[in-house]
A and B are shown apart, each in its own frame.
Chain A
Amino acid sequence: MIKKENLKIAIASGKGGTGKTLLSTNLAAFLSERESTLLVDLDVEEPNDSLFIKGNLIRKTEQHKMIPQWDESKCTLCGECTKNCKFHAVVQMGKFIAVFKELCHSCYACSELCPAKALPMHPYKMGETAEYSYNNLKLIESRLMIGEEQAVPLIHKTHKLVEENFSNSIFLLFDCPPGTSCPVIAATENADFVILVTEPTPFGLHDLKLAVETMRKLHKPIGVVINRSGIGNDDVENYCKTEQIDILTKIPFDKNIASCYSKGELVYNKLESVKHSLNEILDSLKNKIPCQSLQGFETLKGI
């Protein structure tokens, strides 16, 4: 059982466009009305939480990964480096050695195995992390540079930054990248609980199953939020029942949500139904996680 002051919740979904950002931003803003809350946008290829949480920019930090840099004066053009790079990130261009940063996995093999020590590792900017402040809510947003393809190193760096500087927040929410591949695994790594957002359609169900499979493999406790409830069918609900997965809440389908969302607005303080759903989530979480900070929300029950 988890017993600690702060609570780390990851918000994930098998596919894009199910309402992961909608839930993350609204839940974070709502929680921050009571306790200091941190929202971390780990959808580093397309981060967009900051479109909804319009806070003040506190600072931006460059994030680096280590890549080899060719030292012409030492190089004997033996060609070992191009053979040692499995990712074709090091190319011998005639009498030059070129390093393709986007393809480099920072494995150090070319650098440390170079007999002439002609490829020392240097930091290279792969992205940046911005910190925003909005009343009691802090937002951390990591963004990969355009053309960078590897999300995992930046996600790890972001986790580290959060651990070092923001462990005093009571609620830490992680908005994860979509899918079931390495970036999601990296993003949910520290979470005490994972909320999977889905929609009651065959697409939603199919992707939810994959996400559940992934989270079970990682031994994460999970709960499901059904967004756009009312459309589609009951298959998602039946699946959750059969698999004994709790449905934390159902956010009813409402065209107003889509319209607010398209303009970059938060909805929970405009639409009572959304606020109700957020309360339901907290009520369910309280029963699952013996975290004192959640108990503080008792008074909100029934609003």
Chain B
Amino acid sequence: MKEIVVLSGKGGTGKTSITASLAVLAGSEAVVADCDVDAANMHLLMQPDFAVASQFYSGELAEINQNICTQCGLCSNVCRFDAIPFQNNKYTVNPLACEGCGYCQKVCPTEAISMKKRKSGYVYISNTKVNSTMVHARLDIGAENSGKLVAKVKSKAKELAEHQNKYFVIVDGSPGIGCPVVSSLSGASYVVLVTEPTVSGLHDLERIYSVIKRFRIKAGCIINKHDINPQKTEEIIEFLNRENIVHLVSIPYDIAFTEAMTQAKTIVETSSRISQKLIDAWNKIKEEAAKN
């Protein structure tokens, strides 16, 4: 089984549109995992049926049992996040401020505080419009993506791929360079980087590649909207050559992306000239991923 992870560093590069295009091209050959749960948008293009939902917990949250609490205020004093204000004659935990460190629980003289698992959203297993299985998630407000959630979505997708005898797992990776990205990458067979030629695009590409390099995972790059800044595009290509990253394809700025999206379609389901470029890119990705 080959796990292909699509990453971009910053938002707005077209990563999700491109990942969904690859998922449509792979069709029932692949299981799809959406790990970009902060901006989980892939479902808008893959039209999953949300067949199975399960609640997801991440981190902890303090809870005060008012029947035992003697209102000594020690918990509120030690809390560095101002998460236990005294309101309406009682100490209560503000769930948006609580970081789940458990210090309050440790100092409470009457053991009135317990740490509860924090409900942070849902994980779904769905059938998509191209007859593949997709694992995706939705976060509650104020909840953050975590290495844990990414690991869960990915391991579910892998398990299903194995079970269904699928050759590919296509992962829409998390943004940034933190813990969720490390979790997105670990175990990957091949990484597809999506970038755009803007002042911040190359900078983000370099940062994300330093993480990929650490895990010795082979990578290819798609330069999206290459024609908005030819000079930056040149700089990106120089970087790719220097680091031995395969330049998979350059895609011009095209309104067709948005037009397709408006109809809940990926670009490869339209007659756009970009369609063929992505088909070529997908073939190249398959070829490169098979080399491992």
Q: When A and B assemble into the complex, do they touch directly, with CB atoms less than 8 Å apart?
A: yes
CB closest residue in chain A, given B103: A109
Q: Find out whether the CB atom of B44 lies under 8 angstroms from the CB atom of A86.
A: no
Asked if B38 contacts A107 (CB within 8 A), the reply is no
| Pair B175/A201 contact, Cβ less than 8 Å | no
Query: Which of these, B78, B142, B199, contacts A180 with CB under 8 Å?
Result: B142
Pick the residue among B16, B101, B253 that contacts A105 (CB under 8 A).
B101
Q: What mask results when residues 167 to 181 of chain B are scored 1 for a CB within 8 Å of chain A, else 0?
A: 000000001111100
The one of A214, A259, A262 that contacts B142, using a Cβ cutoff of 8 Å:
A214
Residues of A within 8 A of B234 (CB): none
Cβ-defined partner of A16 (8 Å) among B99, B102, B175, B179: B175
CA of A86 to CA of B41, assembled, Å? 32
The complex places the Cα of A107 from the Cα of B39 at a distance, in Å, of 29
Which A residues are CB-close (under 8 A) to B41? 15, 202-203, 206-207
Q: Are B199 and A185 in contact (CB under 8 A)?
A: no
- B144 contact set on A, CB distance < 8 A: 181-182
Is A246 part of the contact surface with B, judged by Cβ < 8 Å? no
Q: Chain B residues with Cβ under 8 A from A232's Cβ? A: 258-259, 261-262
Residues of A within 8 A of B142 (CB): 180-182, 185, 214, 217
**Contact of A113 with B106 in the complex, beta carbons under 8 Å:** yes
**B246 at the A/B interface (Cβ < 8 Å)?**
no
User: What's the least CB distance linking A16 to chain B, in Å?
Assistant: 2
Given contacts A86-B100, A258-B228, whether A206 and B44 have CB atoms under 8 Å apart is yes
B window 59-115: CB within 8 A of A:
60, 78, 80-81, 96, 99-103, 106-107
9 closest cross-chain pairs (CB), A and B: A17-B12, A16-B11, A107-B101, A109-B103, A262-B229, A15-B39, A149-B178, A17-B11, A181-B144
Q: Which residues of A contact B (CB under 8 A)?
A: 14-18, 45-46, 48, 51, 84, 86-87, 105-109, 112-113, 146-147, 149, 178-182, 185, 201-203, 206-207, 210, 213-214, 217, 228, 231-233, 253, 255, 258-259, 261-264
List residues of chain B with CB under 8 Å of any chain A CB. 10-13, 16, 38-39, 41, 44, 60, 78, 80-81, 96, 99-103, 106-107, 139, 141-145, 175-179, 196-200, 204, 207, 225, 228-229, 232, 253, 255, 258-259, 261-262, 264
